[in-house]
Amino acid sequence: MELEKATISLYDPDAMTVKGEKIKVLFNPTQYRLSRSNQFGEVAVPGLPASLIQFGKGNSSTLTMQLFFDTYEKRKDVREYTKKITGLLDIDAELHAPPVLVFSWGALNFVCVLERAEQTFELFLPSGIPVRATVDVTFKEYFDGKKHGANLQSANFAKRYVVKRRDTLSALSAHFYEDPGLWRHIAEENGIDDPLSIQPGQVLVIPAIE
């Protein structure tokens, strides 16, 4: 069975397809690391023994690995291969941003952009031409909420929010649901009859909208 090579391809997020020639790594990575995290804020409320934890946002996932390149036997400049990777940091003239990519290896298909690439050259010919290198790469997940089915009108789970000065239910509805007219969901969840009666320091439950 032929060894399957990891590849990096240009990706068209509108058509959701790869395009152009795939970049095959010279040697498959020995390991890779997928990382994901969330951001939370702490809201101090007088009288409570601890701060309230309020969800802020989810961070993009990252994929990190080290790619190995060796052209010693061919006596070729290894930079001919590493520049194919580092060139993915360049600005695309049409996008005015680096290209969207997909890193594929086996069952892994990671739609991303290249965030970082650090080259280390380790072996040289007598002429000084490098023939062995490693490239430490960090790919950051590319996410387009509209095209990936995200519900931008509502959080997907209930949140707690501490009311601040000048807050109104319609303003909170605009912030959490992107529609000020959905304020009644907050009012009903918190048993509020008068939408103008909320007070600073009051803790509201912001419900999800199905």
CATH fold label, 159-206? Membrane-bound Lytic Murein Transglycosylase D; Chain A (3.10.350)
pLDDT values of the chain reduced to their tens digit, one per residue, 210 residues: 567 899 999 988 877 778 888 899 999 999 999 999 988 888 777 777 888 887 777 888 999 999 999 999 999 999 999 999 999 999 988 878 999 999 999 888 899 999 999 999 999 999 999 999 999 999 999 876 544 444 434 444 567 777 888 888 988 888 888 788 889 999 998 899 888 888 887 888 888 876
**Cα separation, 99 vs 61, whole angstroms:** 17
Please indicate whether the domains covering 7-141 and 159-206 agree at the CATH topology level: no
Q: For the whole prediction, is pTM greater than 0.85?
A: no
Q: Determine contact, residues 178/152, Cβ cutoff 8 Å.
A: yes
**Cα separation, 85 vs 24, whole angstroms:** 10
CATH fold label, 7-141? Elongation Factor Tu (Ef-tu); domain 3 (2.40.30)
Extents of the domains making up the chain: 7-141, 159-206
